[in-house]
Amino acid sequence: MPSPPNRRGGTTGGALDGGDGGVSGVGGDKGLGGLEALGAVRIAALVREGIWSAWEVTGDALARIRVADEELRAFRELWPRAARAAALEVDRRLRAGQYLPLAGVPLGVKASEGRDAEQTRRLVAAGCVPVGATAVPGPGTAWQTWGHTDRGPTRNPHDPTWSPGGSSAGSAAAVAAGLVPLATGSDGAGSVRIPAAWCAVLGLKLTTGRLPARDRAGLTAPGALARHPADLAAYLDALRVFPPDRSPPGLSPPGLSWPVPDGEGVARGGRPLRVAWSSTLGFARTDAPIAAAARAHLDRLAAAGALVTTGATVDLPDPQACWLALRRPPTHAPPGWDPGGTRAASQRALAVLFADHDLLATPTTPHPPHGHAGPGPAMSVALTWAFNLTGHPALSLPAGWTDAGHPVGLQLVARPGHEADLLTVAQAGEHLTVRARPPARHG
């Protein structure tokens, strides 16, 4: 099959290597300078405007992944043939006059989610081009904060001796390294938020039930990782506007505008969002430098006018025993089984909090990234898995770095269905984000 004409004349790229395991010269020789620094919304705008084609963007992304991922190991496999076909379809739909909000955006797909996952199908309907399967943990460990490939474990882009977190390990690493601007994840105990924190990117866990759950206990919710809040807002728009069981709307934009992708108001009655802070949720053993860095970023957001903090205290029951029991329930567990009443107690406590607060803020993880040998006794999920029990949406956003040079995430939790509130704060504070690792300060 010949290479298609590009929009400026001539042809792009060359033949793909056999199978879906390699790419050779598909748009990569030309090099779309600076593409790796752009977010999904900006890439889509350039493709819709005809500055680049989806074919060219896809080829550039595949070529860069092939080079950079030998060391990073964010991807288990690439899908060059399928990606090229998807890019050609995006270009065809654009020529037909369809409006695609994520036109030509290269998408990393969590390996355990796959191309047939509900959220992936909706993102493809909105114009995304899946380019490969991102790494998830392999067999042999009880802990899930790592990624496995046949070349070795996934490395953290900020320090190859660190794990990127998990289980959405490859998705976080690929986004942080600029290989893709958007990647899917799933979160059953913190599997989107933890790698987002350790790779210094944004990670959103959806409200449980927004899309079909993948486990009987209802602990796992879909999510996504990105570098920019506007890209996560576009992700939310795509989930709502482009259900894959009907033809996607065409010819005109859907009329949705960030920062209210769900059509809900953000600041209620003209007041800023009220936020309660807890470094431990009443039970976690959070390292002091992590707590201090997360709290400092929350204070910066407040100073920037993104929110107001209160003196409310938050104490939840430790979810560990309940979560573990729900993950492996007895054969005859009744519907709605709640070991120890922990899920109901947590939901009651959060209902009281959210009666007069909009958000809850915590560090995303109580500890810094661990090495590739594992976390030891550290409980990386201590501050995240309560919200898998309760179903609340949650976002990890980069909160800066400790004096020792470790990345810190700030977790924000909202009322069910109020993902827009999370992204409003993230957008208001995006200019405060320090993504690059600074030199360590000791003493």
User: Which amino acids are annotated catalytic?
Assistant: 110, 167, 191
Q: Minimal CA–CA distance to 106: which of 42, 157, 25, 14?
A: 42
Q: How far apart are CA 28 and CA 284, in angstroms?
A: 47
Q: How far apart are CA 382 and CA 286, in angstroms?
A: 9
